[in-house]
């Protein structure tokens, strides 16, 4: 491995920003969202243009390449490099000026697009281009790739919306490219004026031509626009430090016409015919990429056609006119903004969902964004499908049909020699096909390493040599992003999968969605970086730790990159013992948000548990793994010895509490939760049975309900019985006669008896701390105890969302060899689910109050909250719960060193929603962690939905007795 210590020392001596040459800093930027991987020498986060100039000076003297990187969402490999990577997202990320009068903004390269949009919106303005990665892509990256997005039929590409740039050349010269030859490097004008015929005839005329250098923008009839020519150069000509961009007027109202067609070919044929109606978007999607429950109109493919207007009526009228003009199978016009956002999320997530074929097999970029003239799109798609078939490949096209630009992920085999050979042959033939249709190899994401090798097929050898001459004028030392666009690396070199182990690694979980292969699970992260958003959209959770710290290593993508490098063994050399991976995973809250919010379903909570299991195998674990990871054992011991009151009294003494927290690895800022003087099952044993008229359910006595908040269990029993359900506790179901049939077997009410004291446990605390051997033991014992319940087919009600999620997903994935595990998982019901399914005619009491609080992160990610919403609505509980994560997340927020991040997560959405709530608002928090966080950080008592309904039932009863 090359020693870069001298380079690092020199950079540290002249750069004010961060200089990172450590394993973690380098591992985080080995890949972008492409198929490629290159290991950099180091990473620099410059504070300003002077820092950039200093880096260029040092690297020029040492002959070290420099690569500019924005959000790292490039799909062609151009945001990776072997030299020094410049990360602009940390410091050079400002909006320097926004002028509503001139409709311009001055931005730095690391500014995320959504921040510009939010700042422009109050003025009725916006930046026209909007890639699906708008919540994390940067303006610098958009300029480097000449990004477009869904609204390009209305507002063009990024190049159409740039006024002036500030650029540092590799030799340190500051240029300000603009129109009329402004900011041109020496010799560029002479080069362009010497090739007028080639510039006028050698460049395809189509709305999405991104491939190569835009040298035709230097023609006099096009304003000799050096800034426009610079756009799409992928960091190979100069380093952008500032830009003046144009803003456009945003329509006051919008409508979305969703047009259903028989297949994507029919949709493609129709797209160009809609352009004369002046739509804002014409986006295409096929059924393979759309979930079945989205409410789209009938069809096998759809066009999403957005219209704008000065009023809602005008926008709707324009959308309805397009529907009348279209020959469709079915259609839908949506004017509600929330419903439009829901539909657009389907389209925006396609870059991730397309990475899995309908059968679950992997698909990859590489031919992600070819573009042809819109009128030829239907014919091109037919030929494209035929070419796929001839190579035995599959892919589902989608994208910007109105601009003739197609996105597609293809099930290339990039793991074996023959598969990579087919990848090359297909790429060469597809390049020829695109050119035959008058198209561009890239219509949005740039050429990078994926397509630059094939540019001679599109432009011819002479024009490519012209590109090389232009590159030499801007960057004579070939310092900037070498291997891209000119003199490119082969399209089948540097593939990121080639470094992974040839054989599967031994793991504890089953990874059913990845064929049991941990390598495939890690490959899921393709780098679209939806986890790198500054705010969680709507009910989304992912990724709370990134929003708290802003550090890539604390994002789902960052952690996935480190796991990839751990398997590769080149940068991270100590495998499961890696401290770099451990430290990155340390701030993962195991919220499981990524399992749902990540378009490709990365499940970092499971990967973390897997890693901790191996990392601490045969080694001393942190104190918190013993104090909180084995919490069920401690609490059962306390219950048996009846020492809860004594321990509560001792915990109230500051010196003893401090000592206990230090010993247990607990954050000193935390207060120890009070233990219940009597457990839930202790109360249950002493209560009088209530006759039932309906179905029988088993109520799961989870650790938190049993020992810390038995009031939740008591309330749930009150509500379930009021709904006519019979309630029993596990573990034993004795044979009996009569009763109601369950699973084909008769079961009587007397059959469910607690003969032995329940020790069922979901294993959540063991799972979250990676004590998977112990978790297996606990879960197998649980399955033994629950066998009679499983045989009877009785639903199992779990009140704590984290425990329900563990039983639904972790149990069958960890005990993948035990057929009882999926049976118990399928028996699990949430409180709202069991009422909806087994007491459908019961009417809850009228609470008639607004609510605030937070949907539990595991509820959002694993269980779903639609039944809860319906139950709340039936009870007159109005309003929405916030998204995000409370930040306590089981043991996470109690662990020493996690308090500040835990509090920051709570401040993201939960605490602001509580502060804004009125006095009569009901604060809902179904999870014990959420309630504890509210109590300790806001001094507010949150309640489980069962408690709220039980209280309303009791109020009704008291009112009824008074009436008598």
Q: What is the DSSP string of 412-436?
A: ---SSHHHHHHHHHHHHHHHHHHHH
pLDDT tens string 878-933: 999 999 999 999 999 999 999 999 999 999 999 999 999 999 999 999 999 999 99
Quick check: 357 pLDDT over 90? no
Q: What is the pLDDT of residue 963?
A: 66
For the ranges 79-88, 139-148, 281-290, 523-532, which has the lowest average pLDDT? 281-290
Could you tell me if 144 and 68 are in contact, meaning their C-beta atoms sit under 8 angstroms apart?
Answer: yes
Query: What is the average per-residue pLDDT within 841-868?
Result: 96
- Cα gap 371→661, rounded to integer Å: 61
pLDDT bin (cut points 50, 70, 90) of residue 735 is very low
For the ranges 169-183, 360-374, 436-450, 702-716, which has the lowest average pLDDT? 360-374
Quick check: 731 pLDDT over 90? no
More confident residue, 306 or 755: 306
Query: What is the average per-residue pLDDT within 232-258?
Result: 97
How many CA atoms does the CB half-sphere of 185 hold within 13 Å? 22
pLDDT bin (cut points 50, 70, 90) of residue 2 is low
φ, ψ dihedrals at 530, nearest 5°: -65, -20
Q: Which of 530, 533, 511, 532 is nearest to 522 (CA)?
A: 511
Quick check: 537 pLDDT over 80? no
Three-state SS for 957?
helix
Q: Which of 140, 263, 271, 265 is nearest to 208 (CA)?
A: 271
Quick check: 87 pLDDT over 80? yes
Could you tell me if 421 and 392 are in contact, meaning their C-beta atoms sit under 8 angstroms apart?
Answer: no
Q: Determine what percent of the chain is predicted with pLDDT higher than 90.
A: 88
- Cα gap 200→216, rounded to integer Å: 7
635 contacts: CB under 8 Å, gap ≥ 6: 675, 703, 706, 707, 708
CA distances from 87 to 47, 70, 140, 804 (A): 10, 6, 11, 41
- Cα gap 909→804, rounded to integer Å: 24
pLDDT bin (cut points 50, 70, 90) of residue 21 is very high
415 forms beta bridges with none
Pairing of strands 104-107, 125-126: unpaired
Q: What is the pLDDT of residue 90?
A: 96
- Cα gap 159→129, rounded to integer Å: 9
More confident residue, 569 or 737: 569
CB atoms within 10 A of CB 774: 18
Quick check: 356 pLDDT over 90? no
Structure tokens that stand for 319 in this block: 């959308």
Q: Which of 833, 705, 818 is nearest to 764 (CA)?
A: 705
Residue with tokens 């540019």: 455
Query: Would you give the DSSP letter of residue 308?
Result: E
Q: For residues 454-485, b (16+ Cβ closer than 10 Å) or e, as one string?
A: bbebbbeeebbebbeebbebbbeebbbbbbbb
Q: How many residues does the chain have?
A: 964
Q: What is the pLDDT of residue 245?
A: 98
Three-state SS for 615?
helix
98 forms beta bridges with 105
Quick check: 663 pLDDT over 70? yes
φ, ψ dihedrals at 109, nearest 5°: -65, -25
pLDDT bin (cut points 50, 70, 90) of residue 745 is very low
CB atoms within 10 A of CB 438: 16
pLDDT bin (cut points 50, 70, 90) of residue 294 is confident
253-452 and 4-87 share a CATH fold? no
- Cα gap 131→303, rounded to integer Å: 17
Strand segments (E) across 770-870? 796-797, 828-829, 849-853
Q: What is the pLDDT of residue 173?
A: 97
For the ranges 338-342, 388-392, 484-488, 698-702, which has the lowest average pLDDT? 338-342
Pairing of strands 405-407, 370-371: antiparallel
CATH says 4-87 is which class?
A: alpha beta
Query: What is the average per-residue pLDDT within 293-311?
Result: 91
pLDDT bin (cut points 50, 70, 90) of residue 681 is very high
Quick check: 751 pLDDT over 60? no
258 forms beta bridges with 304, 332
Q: Which of 803, 628, 801 is nearest to 730 (CA)?
A: 803
139 forms beta bridges with none
CATH says 253-452 is which class?
A: alpha beta
Structure tokens that stand for 521 in this block: 């699970």
Query: Would you give the DSSP letter of residue 103?
Result: T
Could you tell me if 480 and 170 are in contact, meaning their C-beta atoms sit under 8 angstroms apart?
Answer: yes
Q: For residues 143-165, b (16+ Cβ closer than 10 Å) or e, as one string?
A: bbbbbbbbbbbbbbbbbbbbbbb
Q: Show the CA angle centred on residue 359, arms to residues 354 and 365, nearest 5°.
A: 30
Three-state SS for 364?
strand
Q: What is the 3-state secondary structure (H, E, C) of 473-526?
A: HHCCCCCECCCCCCCCCCCCCCECCCCCCCCCCCCCCCCHHHCCCHHHHHHCCC
Q: What is the pLDDT of residue 351?
A: 63
Could you tell me if 886 and 937 are in contact, meaning their C-beta atoms sit under 8 angstroms apart?
Answer: no
Q: Which of 499, 312, 479, 496 is nearest to 412 (CA)?
A: 496
Query: What is the average per-residue pLDDT within 809-837?
Result: 98
- Cα gap 604→611, rounded to integer Å: 10
More confident residue, 964 or 803: 803
φ, ψ dihedrals at 258, nearest 5°: -105, 115
Quick check: 358 pLDDT over 60? yes
Quick check: 439 pLDDT over 80? yes
- Cα gap 144→243, rounded to integer Å: 12
221 contacts: CB under 8 Å, gap ≥ 6: none
Q: What is the pLDDT of residue 604?
A: 98
Quick check: 688 pLDDT over 90? no
φ, ψ dihedrals at 764, nearest 5°: -55, -45
Q: Label residue 342 exposed, middle or buried (CB < 10 Å: 0-12, 13-18, 19+).
A: middle
- Cα gap 442→583, rounded to integer Å: 39
pLDDT bin (cut points 50, 70, 90) of residue 964 is low
CB atoms within 10 A of CB 645: 12
Query: Would you give the DSSP letter of residue 741?
Result: E
Q: Show the CA angle centred on residue 844, arms to residues 842 and 847, nearest 5°.
A: 170
Q: What is the pLDDT of residue 752?
A: 46
Instruction: Please give the mean pLDDT across all residues of the chain.
Output: 93
Give me the torsion for CA of 834, 840, 842, 843, rounded to 10°.
100
Structure tokens that stand for 489 in this block: 């690396």
Query: What is the average per-residue pLDDT within 585-612?
Result: 96
- Cα gap 645→642, rounded to integer Å: 8
Could you tell me if 137 and 147 are in contact, meaning their C-beta atoms sit under 8 angstroms apart?
Answer: yes
CATH number of this structure's domain 95-249, picked from the four choices 3.30.465.10, 3.40.50.720, 3.30.230.10, 3.90.25.10: 3.30.465.10
How many CA atoms does the CB half-sphere of 396 hold within 13 Å? 25
Query: What is the average per-residue pLDDT within 151-173?
Result: 97
Q: For residues 366-384, b (16+ Cβ closer than 10 Å) or e, as one string?
A: bbbbbbbbbebbbebbebb
pLDDT tens string 440-462: 999 998 999 999 999 999 999 99
CB atoms within 10 A of CB 300: 17
Q: What is the pLDDT of residue 958?
A: 77
Quick check: 16 pLDDT over 90? yes
Query: Would you give the DSSP letter of residue 860?
Result: I
Domain ranges of the chain: 4-87, 95-249, 253-452, 518-620, 624-664, 680-737+746-839, 849-963
């Amino acid at each position: 491995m090359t020693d870069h210590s001298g380079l690092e020392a020199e950079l540290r001596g002249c750069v004010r920003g961060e200089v990172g040459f450590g394993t973690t800093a380098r591992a985080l930027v080995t890949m972008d969202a492409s198929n490629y991987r290159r290991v950099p020498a180091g990473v620099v986060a410059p504070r300003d243009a002077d820092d950039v100039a200093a880096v260029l000076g040092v690297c020029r003297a040492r002959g070290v390449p420099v690569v500019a990187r924005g959000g790292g969402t490039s799909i062609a490999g151009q945001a990776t490099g072997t030299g020094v990577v410049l990360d602009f997202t940390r410091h050079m990320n400002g909006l320097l000026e926004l002028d509503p009068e001139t409709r311009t903004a001055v931005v730095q390269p690391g500014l995320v697009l959504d921040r510009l949009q939010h700042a422009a919106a109050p003025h009725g303005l916006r930046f026209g281009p909007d890639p699906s990665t708008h919540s994390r892509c940067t303006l610098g990256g958009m300029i480097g790739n000449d990004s477009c997005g869904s609204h390009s039929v209305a507002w063009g590409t990024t190049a159409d919306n740039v006024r002036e740039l500030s650029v540092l050349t590799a030799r340190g010269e500051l240029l300000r490219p603009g129109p009329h030859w402004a900011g041109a490097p020496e010799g560029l004008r002479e080069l362009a004026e010497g090739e007028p015929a080639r510039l006028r005839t050698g460049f395809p005329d189509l709305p999405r031509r991104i491939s190569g250098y835009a040298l035709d923008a230097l023609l006099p009839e096009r304003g000799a626009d050096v800034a426009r020519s610079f756009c799409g150069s992928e960091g190979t000509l100069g380093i952008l430090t500032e830009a003046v961009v144009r803003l456009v007027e945003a329509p006051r109202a919008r409508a979305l016409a969703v047009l259903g067609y028989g297949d994507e070919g029919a949709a493609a044929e129709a797209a160009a015919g809609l352009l004369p109606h002046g739509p804002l978007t014409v986006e295409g999607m096929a059924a393979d990429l759309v979930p079945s429950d989205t409410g789209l109109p009938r069809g096998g493919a759809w066009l999403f056609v957005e219209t704008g207007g000065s009023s809602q009526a005008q926008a709707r009228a324009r959308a309805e006119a397009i529907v009348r003009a279209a020959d469709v199978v079915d259609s839908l016009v949506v004017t509600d903004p929330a419903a439009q956002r829901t539909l657009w999320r389907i389209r925006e997530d396609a870059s991730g969902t397309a990475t899995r074929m309908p059968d679950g097999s992997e698909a990859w970029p590489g031919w992600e964004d070819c573009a042809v003239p819109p009128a030829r799109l239907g014919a091109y798609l037919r030929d494209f499908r035929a070419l796929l078939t001839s190579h035995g490949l599959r892919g589902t096209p989608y994208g910007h049909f109105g601009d003739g630009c197609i996105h597609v992920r293809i099930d290339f085999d990039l793991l074996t020699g023959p598969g990579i050979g087919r990848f090359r042959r297909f790429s060469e033939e597809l390049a020829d096909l695109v050119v035959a249709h008058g198209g561009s190899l890239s219509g949005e994401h740039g050429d990078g390493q994926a397509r630059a090798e094939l540019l001679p097929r599109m432009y011819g050898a002479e024009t490519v040599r012209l590109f090389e001459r232009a590159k030499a004028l801007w960057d004579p030392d070939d310092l900037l992003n070498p291997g891209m666009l000119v003199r490119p690396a082969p399209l089948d070199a540097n593939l990121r999968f080639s470094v992974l182990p040839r054989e599967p690694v031994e793991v504890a979980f089953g990874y059913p969605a990845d064929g049991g292969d941990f390598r495939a699970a890690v490959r899921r992260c393709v780098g679209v970086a939806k986890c790198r958003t500054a705010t969680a959209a709507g009910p989304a959770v992912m990724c709370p730790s990134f929003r708290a710290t802003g550090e890539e290593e604390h994002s789902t993508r960052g952690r996935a990159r480190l796991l990839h490098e751990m398997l590769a063994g080149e940068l991270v050399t100590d495998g499961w013992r890696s401290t770099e991976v451990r430290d990155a995973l340390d701030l993962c809250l195991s919220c499981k948000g990524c399992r749902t919010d990540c378009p490709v379903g990365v499940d970092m909570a499971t990967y973390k548990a897997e890693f901790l299991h191996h990392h601490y195998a045969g080694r001393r674990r942190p104190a918190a793994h013993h104090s909180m990871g084995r919490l069920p054992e401690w609490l059962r011991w306390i219950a048996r010895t009846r020492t809860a009151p004594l321990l509560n009294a001792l915990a109230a003494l500051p010196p003893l509490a401090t000592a206990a927290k230090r010993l247990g690895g607990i954050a000193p800022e935390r207060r120890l939760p009070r233990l219940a003087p009597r457990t839930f099952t202790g109360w249950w044993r002493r209560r009088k049975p209530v006759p039932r008229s309906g179905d029988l359910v088993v109520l799961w006595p989870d650790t938190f309900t049993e020992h810390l908040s038995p009031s939740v269990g008591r309330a749930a029993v009150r509500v379930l019985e009021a709904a006519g359900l019979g309630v029993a506790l596990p573990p034993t179901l004795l044979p009996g006669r009569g009763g109601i049939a369950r699973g084909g077997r008769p079961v009587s009410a007397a059959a469910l008896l607690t003969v032995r004291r329940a020790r069922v446990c979901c294993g959540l605390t063991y799972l979250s701390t990676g004590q998977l051997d112990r978790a297996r033991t606990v879960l197998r014992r649980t399955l033994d105890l629950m066998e009679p319940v499983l045989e009877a087919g009785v639903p199992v009600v779990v009140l704590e969302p984290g425990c329900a999620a563990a039983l639904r997903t972790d149990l069958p994935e960890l005990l993948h060899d035990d057929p009882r595990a999926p049976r118990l998982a399928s028996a699990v019901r949430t409180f709202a689910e069991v009422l909806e399914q087994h007491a459908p005619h019961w009417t809850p009491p009228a609470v008639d109050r607004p609510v605030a609080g937070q949907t539990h992160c595991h509820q959002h990610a694993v269980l779903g909250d639609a039944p809860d919403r319906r139950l709340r609505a039936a009870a007159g509980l109005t309003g929405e719960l916030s998204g995000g994560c409370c930040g306590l997340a089981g043991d996470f927020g109690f662990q020493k060193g996690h308090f500040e991040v835990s509090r920051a997560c709570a401040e993201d959405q939960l605490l602001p929603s509580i502060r804004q709530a009125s006095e009569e608002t009901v604060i809902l928090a179904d999870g014990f962690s959420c309630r504890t966080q509210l109590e300790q950080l806001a001094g507010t008592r949150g309640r489980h939905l069962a408690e709220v309904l039980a209280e309303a039932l009791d109020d009704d009863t008291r009112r009824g007795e008074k009436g008598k």
